[in-house]
Copies of this chain bind each other. A is one copy, B any other.
Amino acid sequence: MTSTESREKDAANNAAKHGVWGSDHPIGIAVLGMGTVGTEVVRVIRDHAEDLCNRVGAPLVLRGVAVRDATKDRGISPELLTTDAEALVTRDDVDIVVEVMGGIDPARALIKTALTGGKSVVTANKALLADYTGELAGAAENNRADLYFEAAVAGAIPVVRPLIQSLSGDRVNRVVGIVNGTTNFILSAMSETGADYDDVLAEATRLGYAEADPTADVEGYDAAAKAAILASVAFHTRVTSADVYREGISKITAEDLETAAAVGCTVKLLAICERVTEEGGKDHISVRVYPALIPRKHPLAAVSGAFNAVVVEAENAGRLMFYGQGAGGAPTASAVMGDLVMAARNKFFGGRAPGESVYAELPIAPIGDTPTRYHVNMQVADRAGVLQTVAGEFAKHGVSISTVRQEGHDSGARLVVVTHHAKESALADTVSALAELDSVTSVTSVLRLEGTEE
């Protein structure tokens, strides 16, 4: 930096501290997509221009918004709208690109073009990041640009920045989150009303909490993408969505929630990123998304409706929890705008966002090797000796039983077995064997149990 440049920056820094509204060093912004999040981002850039200018040190100026249909009235000056996103992200007067269009294509190519041109990028695109962070972070690094993505996980809740920065001097051992609002709304409603999955999903769709095609949410794809992002930053290891074991909530029944309540638990769709330390060996990690029982006393049990929460356990910090709104236009825009201000400050003062950190390269364990506790629900014949027979099958497969609960019913008895930690494969063999028993009418559900001390 020349001494003139240095003096200019000092002046700018001083101006940022004491107010620079009116400064003539604008930072040009392009926004890709004007859905619920994009609309809020554009509104904040316009309505809070003075505050943003004072926080950055220079005004943020919206250069254009890429949309599919530029003729639609969107409450902003029509000349800002364009259907040519490619041209927008390559404009010389654009310094930062905000990508809130979602989807893999054309977002992937547009972000890469922007980064290759040295423009910083702020994105909320979890699906894209879960699979292409390596490629995009590489483009950012090679061109000295920033790639920020706080909004990709848990909406307004700061969790990506705390993991990358605040916990950068600690060793994260576990990240467990409720990171999908749709499924949490459905499970909360099923738990509160006793209604069945299909009825609650229909209601959620009617209320706008679920999309017309709810697959990405209810089958856990959205949560798995977020788990991949969280695991990557928590463990300094590249984790993609293909590395995440995934089960959704579409098979959860009203009876599952009823039996969960009977044992003092509730059912949540959890994203779990875990470091497993084995004596003498290298650490490995496990990343998985599935519905699981958690005790009602667990801090995540109280997270209901469309809210999100993430629990982080680190060696020195201990257990931290972050809670807030995980989706929606304004909350997601809050996270996008925080990243945008930081990217703009870096453009203005110099400095860079921390790049991708994957030095640890921890191996990712397959789900079969990951021990968890299980809650096995069976319909059994109501006669003496059944419990003994069932217990024998668990023992035979090396699965240790923690508690058993038996209830008489009209058509026999219900038997609920909660196990100690067991490997997926051992449990699967046990369940197959149980299904063959004369005294077991059916294994009605197998759910994992998380969040217990044991």
> Chain A 318-360, CB within 8 Å of chain B: the 1/0 string?
1111111100001101111111111001100111101111111
Residue A215 at the chain B interface, CB threshold 8 Å = no
Q: Is the CB of B162 within 8 A of A158?
A: yes
Expressed in whole angstroms, the Cα–Cα distance for A167 and B151 within the complex equals 12
Of the candidates B17, B20, B346, B349, the one whose C-beta lies within 8 Å of that of A356 is B17
Minimum CB–CB distance for A135 against chain B, Å: 14
Q: For A323, list chain B residues within 8 Å (CB).
A: 299, 320-323
Expressed in whole angstroms, the Cα–Cα distance for A351 and B314 within the complex equals 27
Given known pairs A51-B171, A55-B168, the reply for A17 and B316 (CB within 8 Å) is no
List 7 A-B residue pairs with CB atoms under 8 Å apart, sorted by A's residue number. A48-B171, A52-B169, A157-B320, A299-B323, A315-B330, A317-B335, A321-B323
Residue A439 at the chain B interface, CB threshold 8 Å = no
Footprint of B on A, CB under 8 Å?
Answer: 1, 13-14, 16-20, 40, 44, 48, 51-52, 54-55, 141, 150, 156-158, 161-162, 165-171, 236, 299, 302, 314-325, 330-331, 333-342, 345-346, 349-352, 354-360
Q: Is the CB of A165 within 8 A of B357?
A: no
Q: For A318, list chain B residues within 8 Å (CB).
A: 156, 324-325, 330-331
Q: Is the CB of B359 within 8 A of A19?
A: yes
Minimum CB–CB distance for A305 against chain B, Å: 12
A-B contacts besides A40-B316, A166-B335, A350-B351, 16 pairs, CB < 8 Å: A14-B141, A17-B356, A51-B236, A51-B360, A156-B318, A158-B320, A167-B334, A169-B340, A302-B302, A315-B330, A315-B334, A317-B324, A320-B324, A321-B321, A345-B354, A350-B350
Expressed in whole angstroms, the Cα–Cα distance for A315 and B360 within the complex equals 38
Q: Is the CB of B156 within 8 A of A334?
A: no
Expressed in whole angstroms, the Cα–Cα distance for A326 and B96 within the complex equals 37
Expressed in whole angstroms, the Cα–Cα distance for A357 and B20 within the complex equals 12
Expressed in whole angstroms, the Cα–Cα distance for A316 and B340 within the complex equals 15
Expressed in whole angstroms, the Cα–Cα distance for A342 and B338 within the complex equals 18
Of the candidates B44, B54, B55, B358, the one whose C-beta lies within 8 Å of that of A316 is B44
Expressed in whole angstroms, the Cα–Cα distance for A17 and B345 within the complex equals 23
Q: For A355, list chain B residues within 8 Å (CB).
A: 13, 16-17
Minimum CB–CB distance for A114 against chain B, Å: 19
Minimum CB–CB distance for A395 against chain B, Å: 40
Q: For A54, list chain B residues within 8 Å (CB).
A: 236, 357, 359-360
Of the candidates B170, B337, B351, B358, the one whose C-beta lies within 8 Å of that of A170 is B337
Given known pairs A141-B17, A167-B334, A358-B18, the reply for A324 and B316 (CB within 8 Å) is no
Given known pairs A40-B316, A55-B357, A346-B351, the reply for A166 and B321 (CB within 8 Å) is no
Give the top 5 A-B pairs by smallest Cβ distance, nearest first. A169-B337, A351-B351, A158-B166, A156-B317, A316-B334
Given known pairs A158-B166, A170-B338, the reply for A321 and B324 (CB within 8 Å) is yes
Q: For A341, list chain B residues within 8 Å (CB).
A: 165, 168-169
